[in-house]
Each structure stands twice: as C-alpha cells, then as structure tokens.
Amino acid sequence: MPKDAAPAANADVADLGYEQARDELVDIVARLESGQVGLEESMRLWERGEALAAHCSTWLDRAEERIAGPEE
C-alpha cells in the first residue's frame, strides 16, 4: 500500500462523531488482539485505528476546552 493511500482511505474518520469513532476503535482493537487477521489486514486496521484514536483525542481536547471556558 502506498504511503499516501492510508490517509486517503481514512478520510471519512473526520466525519465521525466521537461515539462512532470510539466504538469502531474498540472493534479494531478487539480484531487485532484476536490474532485472526493477516499482516496486510492488520496494517490496514492499525492505520485506521491510529486515525480514529487521533480523532477521538481531538474531540476530547475540544470538550475539555469548552468545559474549562475562557482563560482569564
């Protein structure tokens, strides 16, 4: 898989809500931990999981900023 194919394949992650992204990430972790997927599929899942984890982190950072409110 070309290096730039992974970001393009995961472009839809930006459109997911937090719960959707988290649930998909949980499913990916379970699949990877099962050891039942081949190397190529594992790599694809890992890259998707990285994109999902970054997306969830962004959601949480924004929520924390909103809760904290403006700094004085």
Q: pLDDT tens for residues 20-68? A: 999 999 999 999 999 999 999 999 999 999 999 999 999 999 999 999 9
The answer to whether position 64 is within a domain reads: yes
The answer to whether position 23 is within a domain reads: yes
The answer to whether position 9 is within a domain reads: no
Quote the number of domains for the chain. Answer: 1
pLDDT of residue 9: 80
Handedness of CA 56, 19, 6, 35 (dihedral sign): positive
The answer to whether position 2 is within a domain reads: no
Does the structure show a pLDDT above 80 at 1? no
Its pTM stands at: 0.82
The answer to whether position 59 is within a domain reads: yes
The answer to whether position 11 is within a domain reads: no
The answer to whether position 51 is within a domain reads: yes
Residue 41 domain boundaries: 17-68
Rounded to 10 degrees, the C-alpha dihedral 24/19/58/45 comes to 0
The answer to whether position 22 is within a domain reads: yes
